[in-house]
Amino acid sequence: MWRVPGYTELRTLGEGAQGRVVLARHDATGRTAAIKYLAERLNGDAAFRERFREEARLLQRLRDPYVAGLYGLVETPEGAAIVMEAVDGVALRRVLEEHGALAPEAALTVLKGSLLGLAAAHELGIVHRDYKPANVIVRGDGLSKLIDFGIAVDAGEAGRSGTPVYMAPEQWRSEPASPATDVYAATCVFFECVTGRRPFAADSPAVLMNHHLTAPVPVETLPEPLRPLVARGLAKNPWDRPHGAKAFVAELESVAAAAYGSDWEARGVRTLAGAAAALAALFPLTALGLGTAGAGAGAGTSGAVAAGAGKGVLGVVGTKAGAAVAGGVIAATAAGGAAVYVAADDGPGRPPVAPLSVQLASYQQGTQGSVPLSTAGQLVQVRGGEPALARRINEALRAPLEERRRYYERSLAAQPGARPSVSRVKAAVRTGGPRYLSVRYDVTLDSPTLSHPTWSSPLSVTVDLGTGQAVPVTRILTPAAFEAKGLGTLATRLKNGADIDSCLRATLPRLTRRAFEPPQPAVHVVLQRGGLEFLVNMTALGETTACGKADVVLPYTGLTGLVDPEVVKAVS
């Protein structure tokens, strides 16, 4: 069985289908580390190898006191292993098994620490996807660390991966993951900490999935002050949850202080420290006489122990390797083909950023509450690039679809006896960079309640790829375009540029600035290479339900003075 050279195994910490984790001591320095080995049977599987490398790359970017850190990735023809920080503590799962429900202050403390670790990941555009009690380690000082990013992904990536009892509705539907996905799982665990049971349980995966997708949140089993917090965190629609862990922390602190006083966190830490201390025999370092269960991180070899960083890990390959340092990351190649990637002591380092790419993704949502509306179709998403920027871009690309869905939901809710309806979306990229990404969404409402064809109309969104922000129409069109003369010119050009019905032809002269304004603009504009595409639906202004719609592309050469010349230059 292959072992990382230069380390002596002390004990096995965990074992599963994809590998095992051991506590080990670095022979040259005496420091400890947790080493995660890829299972031997998977060593020749290229996909699992790459997944293993991706986990190491992700951890190398993520440096935070609430997350167990990476020391290195070691690969040889015989095997692969990730060398990590060893945390002297016990899994929250064992704490709950031993003590059952925790005091609200202790549960809030666990949730806050975990959310801070998740927030650090979310800032990099990373979604954990497998937050659960087994992946939270409570130390002897009552503080906690988040571990195991084995199935983490960049925000926007879809897949049905995770631990079912904590999976968010969008995971069950194989929809793109977002920071709100982790918020859902963390809230599930918080519910379990407070009540001693999970919010949803079932004997079969199908029933469990249905609970997560449709069952009301059992907030009545919680202390009253915590109910709104949990209801928000477990909202079925990810856009109704806090959009990231950082935002959820702010809500948590406000609720906790109001309900349990300004010293709630100090009491919570003491309670957790006591609960963890009762299980000190399970602490990996303390059990071997290498740590002190109640000591904080960085005190001797207790707490979270640094192992093998910089020079220590390079001892794995010794003098047989040639090493190059670039951007704070050491890449060393040893005799026999071994490779080590490790964060250097002088900085966290960052891996090369993958190019930004545009792709179509699935956009599906089920019925929310009593409103009989489901959504199916496509949306445009990006991958690669700087993760935080990609996350902002994807949020901007999704926003108009979410606003249209809320519009439909409000309209259906206002209709007594509204019948089941389906919103269908087809996406098309009009301009794909390098400065702007401009997208058209054709949205069709299939509804026996809202049955007039004017309920179906296209949307658009243009995103600045440098900032990740949606570009308002006031940045595409010049101020002159919204003056009476400019609006008159646009109306004339639109009438002459398409075969439109008489009603719409009569309505266009009444074109106003309001027609371009959110939340339900009557005219959308989409950037194309040769001209500006206008998606016209004047009925959105309540003019008349008899008017039709028109799609018109006007060449930029005929819009001089009405379109920002810098925008034209960027897309021409």
Instruction: Assess whether 219 and 317 both reside in one domain.
Output: no
Instruction: Assess whether 32 and 152 both reside in one domain.
Output: no
* 369 within domain boundaries: yes
> To 5 degrees, how large is the angle CA 353–CA 357–CA 358?
150
Q: Which of 64, 88, 130, 345 is catalytic?
A: 130
* 290 within domain boundaries: no
Give pLDDT, residue 212.
Answer: 94
Instruction: Assess whether 481 and 466 both reside in one domain.
Output: no
Give pLDDT, residue 330.
Answer: 26
Give pLDDT, residue 248.
Answer: 87
Cα 107 to Cα 92, 100, 191: the distances in Å are: 11, 11, 8
* 146 within domain boundaries: yes
* 291 within domain boundaries: no
pLDDT digits (tens, 9 = 90+) for 555-567: 998 899 999 998 9
Give pLDDT, residue 500.
Answer: 60
Give pLDDT, residue 518.
Answer: 79
* 298 within domain boundaries: no
Instruction: Assess whether 370 and 229 both reside in one domain.
Output: no
Give pLDDT, residue 222.
Answer: 94
Please write down the HEC assignment for all residues of 215-271: CCCCHHHCCHHHHHHHHHHCCCCHHHCCCCHHHHHHHHHHHHHHHHCCCHHHHHHHH
Q: Which residue numbers in the chain have pLDDT < 50? A: 292, 294-354, 543-546
> To 5 degrees, how large is the angle CA 517–CA 521–CA 523?
105
Q: State in Å, rounded, how far the first CA of the chain is from the last one.
A: 60
Instruction: Assess whether 325 and 463 both reside in one domain.
Output: no
Instruction: Assess whether 225 and 258 both reside in one domain.
Output: yes
Instruction: Assess whether 155 and 270 both reside in one domain.
Output: yes
User: Where among 430, 456, 471 does a domain terminate?
Assistant: 471
* 295 within domain boundaries: no
145 Cβ contact list (under 8 Å, min separation 6): 65, 66, 67, 68, 87, 89, 113, 117, 136, 137, 139, 304
Residue 235 structure tokens: 């909202």
Is-catalytic flag, 130? yes
Instruction: Assess whether 245 and 142 both reside in one domain.
Output: yes
Residue 533: CATH number of its domain:
3.90.640
Cα 267 to Cα 103, 146, 222, 280: the distances in Å are: 10, 21, 19, 20
Instruction: Assess whether 419 and 491 both reside in one domain.
Output: no
Q: What is the residue-wise DSSP string for 428-497?
A: EEEEE-SSEEEEEEEEEEE-SSS-SGGG-EEEEEEEETTT--B--HHHHB-GGGGSHHHHHHHHHHHHHT
Cis peptide before 223 (omega within 30 of 0): no
Predicted TM-score of the model (pTM): 0.55
* CA-based nearest residue to 317, from 304, 332, 303, 331: 332
Residue 136 structure tokens: 């939270």
Q: How far apart are CA 308 and CA 135, in angstroms?
A: 23
Residue 102: CATH number of its domain:
1.10.510.10
Instruction: Assess whether 112 and 197 both reside in one domain.
Output: yes
Residue 421: CATH number of its domain:
3.30.565.40
Instruction: Assess whether 380 and 434 both reside in one domain.
Output: yes
Residue 79: CATH number of its domain:
3.30.200.20
Instruction: Assess whether 534 and 504 both reside in one domain.
Output: yes
* 261 within domain boundaries: yes
User: Where among 410, 441, 471 does a domain terminate?
Assistant: 471
Domains in the chain, number: 4
User: Where among 449, 471, 493 does a domain terminate?
Assistant: 471
* 269 within domain boundaries: yes
Tell me the residue range of the domain where 318 lies. Answer: 7-85+306-343
